[in-house]
Structure 1
């Protein structure tokens, strides 16, 4: 008898996992609050498509399990009904893993840095073997599982805690939690539940797998317990650990991974990101020569302390991906003085007090969006603006040669922009328009 699976949410990952489930032999029902543009094509595959709402009739069917878009809260009424009925609810990561056990997975989560680690890791993997990059970084893993030919791939996989909440057997070869800081408190029940959800990344690993544990992060040390696989302790400051550095090299045990001066991306935190990526690549079978070569050629991730250009002697950086204070602190720590900070966005109910430590290096803060006034008590020199464009105009008026203009919002983008990528692209366009000269 063919089992039913209900997929809630028809975004890119929902459509991909629906197709994959059909290929796996399930009968799929797909529902979304909005219009589903691929409705006819999906129905031609035998998928039952329900758009512009979730009809109550779907509650009357029997399901082997549900697959939920990671962004839909478990407290949403339609989802909560199935939670109460104790029907298993997965995210597409779990389904893709079940479909492609032949892939080897290197999984990265954490509050910040995960995109840099994942991107750098992917560059290392693809230098020597067939490789894919997927997950929270853009391409659904189900899409990779569906379209990849009958070939074994090494997968660099970025995972959000939303995606990790819906796994049940997923077991990577190597994994890490880059760091933990307050985030997503508009979605999670508590800070503890957010931190705990990240630890699901190693929950089902076998003893031969590796988990890289950042012992510099007290939250990780506290929450990373009962680890079933080999633990690789990592530190930027200690040398009594497995993954460490001195003034010249990064090491795994007594093995040199790469030379620190070869790294092009700025900030101590990026040294840590590179060390984690290199260690993961090493576990996945990549040679030290390839690791060093990629380290030397890597110029960073778009929207993450991305150098935009210099206008009238003022350096400008796009850090739109900094959607919380922890990421903004990391960016500010990469600069010395005379930073003109552009920040603000959607309120995620997170304190901005961590930013006070950088007050002495902030020449002026121009904050915008929903949280524009929240920075008045954080920085000595602060001006509230309605939009990012207003903030940038004022920043240009304020800036003098030698200053740095840094967009590092410390907030999500959803009050005024579709996502942080759009926010970053608009920022770069505005710099080109308002700069008044070639960049």
Structure 2
């Protein structure tokens, strides 16, 4: 870990704890900063705050005092989830106090270079896939960021021989100043998180911060099938590496219906790639380009692509049983995510969908419902989903209880060649504590029912 003159003996306010805030506060204290932590959770219910107090960090819990910034703080490090409308953040910016997220701290202390991955969809899959490619090629990658591992904690232990493969949200990127990944990836941009950003322009600008400090020695991998990213890439200093699904190109990386190409040469047949879905092909192209740019071998990349089945709960392949392919896409908690899943899989789909009723529109699904031969629906939205499916002309609609019942009904109505897809388009909290628990219930039911009927 590098020492930081930027924080040594400086007064730093860490706003918001959780994993990232706790790690940032601990590191700043270790680096010689005078750290104050402010968190809304009461002290007696806040083990992270208690631990930091024992280290000698000043802790203010249970409230956000309006006059806190009058104490002469020189840097604010905020939890990514805290919006910029927060009174303390607004006040800091008015006073021209730098406001970081811990990604900025991670970059400043790291002895290892970064590969940064962002996008509206596909970040986690691309990050995980790239990590596996580099790991199997002995490139000593570390994985960090929005994927669940705090980047500054990873950077603390990184050496110059490592590379930190980092998933980055718009929330995290908005709070960066000097962050400069050697390779930056944007998988795609769609309208999202407007409640946080306030506008599409701010959301897009936050995403594009991933490349703002890059130089001509760096690489920017982007989706050339999206005009918005083509326009932004033209303004970037980094070497542009476009990817496209619209056919072979002589430069960069591309795909058509049969092959993936690198610089115009065939790399792999698409039929041999284990990770299914058109949307995942974008992730595959981005990760493959980054791995090759980092010195990965084609042989290793092909080996990973023919074995990697996906990130858990994100179009995750489970099993091929009697000609039926089962996929767990429990992370699809809105109609846009389920639309992407329906669009991704060819042939007939038995769709398992439903969950918490938040009165979200299902209309985005309508153009793709002709791919659904059977809908098995459950949860609070079961009646609304059933009515919608009948409007769309879905031949069979079944209402189920919990996941075991839903999978039984899906298998009963399926035949060889079908895709059985859990892609709920709803949050899980009416029946399950998280989308992960819901997805695990699906996996368990599939394994139990298929193994019992071999």
TM-score of Structure 1 vs Structure 2, range by shorter chain: 0.7 to 0.9
| Contact 2:355–2:429 under 8 Å retained in 1 | no
Q: Does residue 214 of structure 2 align to residue 205 of structure 1?
A: yes
- Cα drift, residue 342 of structure 1: 0.6
The separation in 1 between residues aligned to 2:350 and 2:57, in whole angstroms, is 54
Report whether the alignment pairs 1:307 with 2:317: yes
Residue 389 to residue 88, structure 1, CA distance change in 2 (3 Å): farther
Could you list the per-position Cα deviations for residues 387-426 of structure 1 after superposition, in whole angstroms to 9, with x for gaps in the alignment? x955773564464132544221334556776543334234
For 1:401, the equivalent position in structure 2 comes to 414
Q: Give the equivalent residue in structure 1 for 2:175.
A: 166
Equivalent in 74, 78, 96 of residue 64 of structure 1: 74
Note the alpha carbon deviations across 1:33-81, whole angstroms, 9 max, x for none.
1232133432233211222332345333111221111122222344344
Shift of 1:111: 1.4
Question: 2:224·2:244 contact (CA, 8 Å) conserved in 1?
Answer: yes
The question of 1:120 aligning with 2:129 is answered yes
Q: Cα deviation per residue 1:211-253 (whole Å; 9 max; x = unaligned)?
A: 1121112343355451111111211113345211345542232
Q: In structure 2, how many angstroms separate the alpha carbons of the residues matched to 1:169 and 1:343?
A: 43
User: What is residue 367 of structure 2 aligned with on the other side?
Assistant: 357
* Equivalent in the alignment of 1:108: 117
Moved more, 70-79 or 136-145: 70-79
Match status 1:228 vs 2:237: yes
> 154-163 or 48-57, which moves further after superposition?
48-57
SS at match of 1:63: coil
Aligned-pair CA distance for 1:277: 0.6
Compared CA separation, residues 63 and 153, structure 1 to 2 (3 A)? same
Cα contact 2:117–2:166 (8 A) shared by 1: yes
1:204-353 correspondence runs (5 A): 204-240=213-249, 242-246=252-256, 248-309=258-319, 316-333=326-343, 334-345=345-356, 347=358, 352-353=362-363
The RMSD of aligned alpha carbons is 3.2
Instruction: Give the 3 Å change call, closer, same or farther, for CA 428–78 of structure 1 in structure 2.
Output: farther
Kindly indicate whether the alpha-carbon contact (under 8 Å) linking 1:135 and 1:157 is maintained by their aligned counterparts in 2: yes
Secondary structure of 1:124 counterpart = helix
Structure 2 CA distance for partners of 1:421 and 1:64, relative to 1, 3 Å: farther
Q: What are the ranges of 5 or more consecutive residues in structure 2 without an aligned counterpart?
A: 1-7
Question: What is the match of residue 196 of structure 2?
Answer: 187
Residue-by-residue CA offset, 1:6-38 (whole Å, 9 max, x unaligned):
111211111111122123321111122123213
Count of aligned pairs between the two proteins? 434
With normalisation by structure 2, the TM-score equals 0.84
Judge which range, 148-157 or 275-284, deviates more: 148-157
Whether the aligned pair in 1 keeps the contact of 2:350 and 2:421 (CA below 8 Å) is: yes
Output the CA distance in 1 between the equivalents of 2:97 and 2:360: 33
Report how far residue 317 of structure 1 moved: 2.5
Q: Give 3-state SS (helix, strand or coil) of 1:290's partner.
A: helix
- For 1:303, what is the secondary structure of its paired residue? coil
| Cα distance change of structure 1 residues 434 and 87 upon mapping to structure 2, 3 Å threshold | farther
1:87 matches 2:102: no
2:439 pairs, out of 420, 424, 429, with: 424
How much has 1:170 moved relative to structure 2?
0.8
1:87-131 Cα deviation digits (max 9, x unpaired) = 22111111100111x312111111111111111100111222221
| Structure 1 residues 199 and 273: alpha-carbon distance in aligned structure 2, compared to 1, 3 A threshold | same
Q: 1:200 and 1:371 mapped to 2: Cα distance? A: 41
Instruction: Report the Cα distance in structure 1 between the residues aligned to 2:104 and 2:432, rounded to whole angstroms.
Output: 30
Q: Relative to structure 1, is the Cα distance of residues 368 and 217 closer, same or farther in structure 2, using a 3 angstrom cutoff?
A: farther
Counterpart CA distance in 2 for 1:412 and 1:181 is: 20
Q: Measure how far apart 1:430 and its partner are.
A: 5.8
Q: Secondary structure at the match of 1:233?
A: strand
Evaluate the alpha carbon distance shift between residue 427 and residue 195 of structure 1 in structure 2; reply closer, same or farther with a 3 A threshold. Answer: farther
Check the 8 A contact 2:178/2:213 in 1, yes or no.
Answer: yes
Report the secondary structure of 1:183's partner residue. Answer: coil
Give the whole-Å Cα distance in 2 for the aligned partners of 1:121 and 1:184: 26
Question: How far, CA to CA, are the matches of 1:117 and 1:303 in structure 2?
Answer: 14
Tell me the alpha carbon deviations over residues 275-324 of structure 1, each in whole angstroms, 9 at most, x when there is no partner.
21111011112222222222223222111122345789865431022244
Query: How many angstroms does 1:337 deviate by?
Result: 1.6
Contact 1:209 1:229 in 2 (8 A): yes
- Indicate the residue corresponding to 2:5 in structure 1: none
Q: Normalization by structure 1: what TM-score?
A: 0.86
